[in-house]
Structure 1
Amino acid sequence: MAQLSSDQFAFGGNLLTVEEALERVTARLAPVAETERVSLSQADGRILAEDLLAPVDLPPFFNSAVDGYAVRFADLRPGAETLLPVGGRVAAGAGPGGSEAGQAVRIFTGAAMPDGTDTVFMQEDVRLDGARVILPPGLAVGANCRPAGEDLARGALALAAGRRITPEAVALAAALGLGHLTVRRRLKVAVFSTGDELVSPGAPLGPAQLYDSNRFTLAALIRRLGADVTDLGILRDRHEAVRDALVAAAPGHDLILTSGGVSTGEEDHVKAAVEAAGTLSLWRLAIKPGRPVAMGVINTGREGQGTAFIGLPGNPVAVFVTFAHVVRPFLTALAGGTVERPLALPVRAAFAYSKKQGRREYVRVILRRGADGMIEARKYPRDGAGVITSLTATHGLVELPEPVTRIEPGDSVGYLAYEMLR
């Protein structure tokens, strides 16, 4: 398992900005060292462990980009139509063969260019006259052709280490003929919820009890990042139960992730349990929703070393937001991935909103097209941190930075789609 120093996340301030939190969770973090070779079909979502250099040119040979007629540009009449006999035919997968000067060759998309030819006319742009083709003027040399290495030259960097493999990256690796990739090992994350008021879905509800949704949200988000999840269930509001669960989970996991119980109430036992099982650098983020976030290290029995612990708030929307801005970059960095903060895209606000200065706020919105055709963001009417439908019925979040105190309809605001945060 990844081993962290006991002061890995030490922080002496009161409130952290989102940027400070990101720096705190990634600055001194060494990624897991273990790697493995996986088949290309199993590589999606994994972190590439080493730079991938192109073993061949892409494409590997000079070929036609369209169905049409391959010619020598030197055979064309400048500024006038050119009439050439059709002297051959090349289909995709066939050898290119040669061509004589003063002739055109019928060619198809992906077929190798015949020796000596350098330009292709699209079939819909020409006219046939028996066994001859009439070519219009105005085409540039090299048109509708793909030179060898046009996409990627042999030896060039195809994919950088630290990149999370996506379907597009899989396509590139496959096109280069690679059947396996070297990736970082999967992280192991233990997840549990705390609270006497919680029961798991499917169990009967007692008086004043709620179904636990946070544990399932976190497990789904973690799996999307390519990590393995151990579900430790629901821990009751007992100091000893939480402490013992932390101690038991630490040796076999890279991160222990909880929700609820990290505030300062009399029934919030996670803080004390973490301090008993390791060290805690309790912080509060200058963020809404989601201010109470705890981070620390649980002892594993090795001197000064341990497993990371992150405690998130108990409200479901706050769990999603703080996961996006704290846990996601932490897991990405620990897995050896490149951490990139999502880039908020400008949209037009269709709502008025006031907020406190010095705190970053995330407003759940629905995107619509305004009467003038511009994309605008409309605030969801119910914005409590416990309103789960405010996530399922919206498209993303509007990010309001710390200096902002007021938004008026028509203002430009930064929009983050949910797909960018999970």
Structure 2
Amino acid sequence: MPVDQALSAMLQLTPLAEAVELVALSDAAGRVLAEDIQSSCDVPPADNSSMDGYALRLADAGAPLPVSQRVAAGQAPGLLTQGTCARIFTGAEIPPGADVVVMQEAVSFTAFDDLLVPEDLKPGENIRRAGQDICRGATILRAGMRLDYRHLGLLASVGIAELPVFRKVRVAILSTGDELVQPGVALQPGQIYNSNRFLLQGFLESQGAEVVSFEQVGDTFAATLSALRRAADQADLVLSTGGVSVGEEDHIKPAVEALGELAIWRLAMKPGKPVAFARLGQSVFIGLPGNPVSTFVGAQVFVKPVLARLAGEAERKPTWLTGLASFSAATKIRQEYLRVQAIWQDDQWQLSAYPNQNSGVLTSAIWANALAVLPPESKVAPGDMVRFFLYADQATPKPDSN
């Protein structure tokens, strides 16, 4: 199945988020907003000065003006007496009657300490109007937005103390394979460390999900079936790595078929051909290959958008860019994802491919910061423009092989 068709099918079969909870503003970073938010006030709430200076009536500007009051930020001003001015500071509320603020550097004083102002003043100069940023009743944030520090600042500016968000997506991780051991344990012959568990856990948490369980599953059908049942009972999304191909020790496919309906299996992509997708009761299941780069690519291409839908987030698609390739490549019947370094240079993106694109070379995902996507039956030569998306802010030099 082509990748785009598979992803579309996955999203159609993935339920939308429903469970909503109220959280304090201080706990809302990374959560997905469940309802539109309207402002109950103007921001700023009243006209205020944009600088230190003097507030006055423009009509009074032709004569020396005595200072009749002093207004600092946080103080309520009095009515400005006609023929006078007010000493005012940045952020302070404009006194009723005043219609212009003169910066303190632009004024002079008479021998009697009366204010002299320039003649070229304009109404409203140096005044920030009430509602300049936000008007009362305006919708400031829409449901489906994942909140970050910018949104929290905006919400605080209108006095929001708590807000409705969708419950975090609960995810269970299953690692299949008798050869896997946890870091910290001495390797025995035939064993490898389980890198996928930590790769996925970190990725999921970066996407705002909650990892509720992890289980390492033995290479038997009974163990796989039992683990899938337990995971589906407690999670919105079940992720497995390994055991999804057609070997004698691969039990994910028959176990999933015993519990639910396997909707997708085997895709026209490289790396990551054996990807499975199914509904297990109320849970969504995605089975990824065991090679670490295949797991990594599958997380970027499939898990991220499925998680977004489960979380109630507006559909999250990659931001597609194009860059100048410095490499050669050719594809056959599968769409290929190359690990590349994308560097902005000479007013365009320059793409360099990692020399070893094997799906077991996880250092390539660290060295690179983007995935270049090559359609089936295509060729790339140096100088060609290639479509890609970034998954990291910047590329990282390859670790020292010594």
TM-score interval for Structure 1 and Structure 2 normalised by the shorter chain? 0.7 to 0.9
- Preserved CA contact (<8 Å) 2:17 2:309: no
Corresponding residue for residue 397 of structure 2 = none
Distance of 2:246 and 2:355 partners within structure 1: 30
Instruction: Say whether residues 1:335 and 2:316 are aligned partners.
Output: no
Instruction: Say whether residues 1:26 and 2:11 are aligned partners.
Output: yes
SS of residue paired to 2:296: helix
> Which of 283, 288, 293 does residue 312 from structure 1 map onto?
288
Corresponding residue for residue 325 of structure 1 = 301
Shift of 1:358: 6.6
Shift of 1:110: 1.6
Corresponding residue for residue 139 of structure 2 = 157
Corresponding residue for residue 366 of structure 2 = 392
> Which of 132, 146, 152 does residue 170 from structure 1 map onto?
152
Q: Which has the larger displacement, 263-272 or 84-93?
A: 84-93
TM-score (normalizing by structure 2): 0.86
- Preserved CA contact (<8 Å) 1:256 1:307: yes
Amino acid corresponding to residue 249 of structure 1 in structure 2:
A
Shift of 1:153: 1.3
Distance of 1:56 and 1:176 partners within structure 2: 6
Corresponding residue for residue 16 of structure 1 = 2
SS of residue paired to 2:172: strand
Amino acid corresponding to residue 166 of structure 1 in structure 2:
D
Deviations 1:207-263 (A, max 9, x none): 132111111111122222332213333212212111111122222221211111212
Deviations 1:283-313 (A, max 9, x none): 3333333232100122xxxxxx442211012
Corresponding residue for residue 324 of structure 2 = 349
Amino acid corresponding to residue 390 of structure 1 in structure 2:
S
Corresponding residue for residue 337 of structure 2 = 362
Shift of 1:74: 5.0
- Preserved CA contact (<8 Å) 1:195 1:236: yes
- Preserved CA contact (<8 Å) 1:65 1:110: yes
- Preserved CA contact (<8 Å) 2:325 2:383: yes
Distance of 2:291 and 2:51 partners within structure 1: 56
Instruction: Say whether residues 1:214 and 2:196 are aligned partners.
Output: yes
SS of residue paired to 1:30: coil
Q: Which has the larger displacement, 114-123 or 312-321?
A: 114-123
Distance of 1:367 and 1:76 partners within structure 2: 59
Q: Structure 2 matches for 1:54-133, cutoff 5 A?
A: 54-73=39-58, 86-101=67-82, 103-123=84-104, 126-129=106-109, 131=113
Distance of 1:349 and 1:136 partners within structure 2: 57
Shift of 1:383: 3.0
Corresponding residue for residue 216 of structure 2 = 234
Distance of 2:355 and 2:237 partners within structure 1: 36
Cα RMSD of the aligned pairs, angstroms, is 2.9
Q: Number of residue pairs matched?
A: 392
Distance of 1:362 and 1:140 partners within structure 2: 60
Shift of 1:23: 2.1
Q: Which runs of 5+ in 1 are unaligned?
A: 1-14, 299-304
- Preserved CA contact (<8 Å) 1:25 1:329: no
Are the structure 2 counterparts of residues 194 and 122 from structure 1 closer, same or farther at C-alpha, using a change threshold of 3 Å?
A: farther
SS of residue paired to 1:318: helix
Q: Which has the larger displacement, 25-34 or 324-333?
A: 25-34
Instruction: Say whether residues 1:243 and 2:243 are aligned partners.
Output: no
> Which of 258, 271, 275 does residue 257 from structure 2 map onto?
275
SS of residue paired to 1:418: coil
- Preserved CA contact (<8 Å) 1:55 1:154: yes
- Preserved CA contact (<8 Å) 2:35 2:164: yes
TM-score (normalizing by structure 1): 0.82
Q: Which has the larger displacement, 102-111 or 305-314?
A: 102-111
Q: Which runs of 5+ in 2 are unaligned?
A: 395-402
Q: Greater relative contact order (Cα 8 A, min sep 6): structure 1 or 2?
A: 1
Amino acid corresponding to residue 2 of structure 2 in structure 1:
L
Shift of 1:412: 6.4
- Preserved CA contact (<8 Å) 1:192 1:233: yes
